[in-house]
Amino acid sequence: MKILVTGGAGFIGSHINKLLLDQDHLVTVIDDLSKGDQCLVDPRADFHQIALENQTELEKILPGHDAIIHMASFIEVGESVKKPVEFAQNNIVGTVKLLEAMKNTKVKRIIFSSSACVYGVPKKLPITENDPLGEQENPYGITKITMEEFCKLYHNLFNFDVTILRYFNPYGPGELHEPETHAIPNLIKAALEKKPLPVYWKGEQIRDFIFIDDLARAHILALTLSGFHIYNIGTQTGNKIIDVIKKIFGIIGYEVPIDDKGERKGDVPVLVASSEKIKKELGWSAKVNLDEGLRKTIEFFKTHRF
């Protein structure tokens, strides 16, 4: 198949590109490099540095593609509070222009990168795809819900084949966000530099950490789906941040102090996925456990300058 990946110069997109190429798919990457890094783009892919808002250029590139994997969005929650207009413009308007370009070029299959944040504070655990979407405390979460709704609208109006993948907490080698807001890379980098680890809520929050290779596999399985589908992507196992820290200390062989940052507005206490639906329908399940994933991630950051 010929697949176009938006935001393909980012952490998750670059892993998806490699997996697609290794399975002999043809891959086109578009990224404006405002957040991504071209060094992460596999040289076997056809790369175009353009923004989603450039609908004219999108319509030149899209013809002949079998599916779109839509990864391009701003993701920093704190930044979204400071810059809501920029987030709405990039995430929502960019997505609508992509969908319009797809409609105009008759490319009607999209896999959309969403987030567990759309559930807000869960009413029960584990979270299933049928659970209601929750009230949002930041513009980032609102953009993800809105992007989902536009994808669903284009399915209803124009018969697009739409798969929405709601990620829980991805981590793994190659995570080089700037600024980095995710827990595992920040904890590992601080530990390797022998600096105090920044920890909120005394590390008592519980998260479902999904290794990047497992996450990437889910996108490939969704490529041939027709109709409208929503899947959670998680391990179905929750881990306290403080327990993740203990695992990191065990792997690197020493401990460093913890910098207690106190409470942080907008944090959900517990997020754990039910992934039974995607297991039943697509045969997907997480294969890499947290200990193995942390070891691989620590090895990456040991050899990568940051």
Q: What fold is seen in the domain 2-170+210-234?
A: Rossmann fold (3.40.50)
d(Cα 26, Cα 13) in Å, to the nearest integer? 15
Task: Enter the tokens of residue 83.
Answer: 């810059």
Q: How far, in Å, are 185, 205, 252, 257, 266 from residue 170 at the CA level?
A: 10, 16, 21, 25, 19
Residue 28 contacts residue 48 (beta carbons within 8 Å):
yes
pLDDT range class, residue 88, cuts 50, 70, 90: very high
State the chain's mean pLDDT as an integer.
Answer: 94
| Of 60-69, 119-128, 265-274, minimum mean pLDDT range | 265-274
Report how far residue 36's alpha carbon sits from residue 92's, in angstroms, rounded to the nearest whole number: 18
Per-residue model confidence (pLDDT) at position 263: 83
The pLDDT of residue 66 is above 60: yes
> How much is the average pLDDT of 279-302?
96
Sign of CA dihedral 178, 179, 184, 189: positive
Any idea which residue has 């659970």 for tokens? 131
Percent of the chain with pLDDT over 90: 82
Does pLDDT of 178 surpass 60? yes
CB 4 within 8 A of CB 58: no
Task: Tell me: pLDDT of 267 over 80.
Answer: no
Alpha-carbon distance of 273 to 284, in angstroms, equals: 14
User: Which residues are CB-neighbours of 39 under 8 A, at least 6 positions away?
Assistant: none
Alpha-helical (H) ranges within the chain are 11-22, 55-61, 77-82, 84-87, 94-105, 139-158, 183-192, 212-221, 241-252, 276-282, 290-303
Place of tokens 């697609």: 20
Q: Show the tokens assigned to 296.
A: 């691989």
How far is 185 from 254, CA to CA, in rounded Å?
A: 17
Helical pair 139-158 and 94-105, crossing angle rounded to 10 deg: 20
Q: Is the pLDDT of residue 192 over 90?
A: yes
According to the model, what pLDDT value does residue 175 have? 81
- Give the side-chain half-sphere CA count within 13 A for 182: 20
Please say whether the beta carbons of 212 and 233 come within 8 A: no
Q: Which residue ranges make up each domain of the chain?
A: 2-170+210-234
Other C-beta atoms closer than 10 Å to the C-beta of 289 total 12
Annotated active-site residue 140? The verdict is yes
Q: Of the listed 140, 154, 167, 171, which one is catalytic?
A: 140
So what's the pLDDT on residue 176?
75
Q: Which range among 71-75, 209-213, 291-295 shows the weakest confidence by mean pLDDT?
A: 71-75
**pLDDT for res 306:** 54
| SS3 category, 296 | helix
pLDDT at residue 108 tops 90: yes
State how far the alpha carbon of 282 is from the alpha carbons of 20, 152, 195, 208, in Å.
Answer: 17, 20, 43, 20
Distance CA 255, CA 167 (A): 30
pLDDT (average), residues 61-74: 97
First CA to last CA distance, the chain: 36
Task: Compute the distance between CA of residue 104 and CA of residue 248 in angstroms, rounded to an integer.
Answer: 49
| Whether pLDDT at 204 is above 80 | yes
Q: Quick one: pLDDT at residue 79?
A: 86
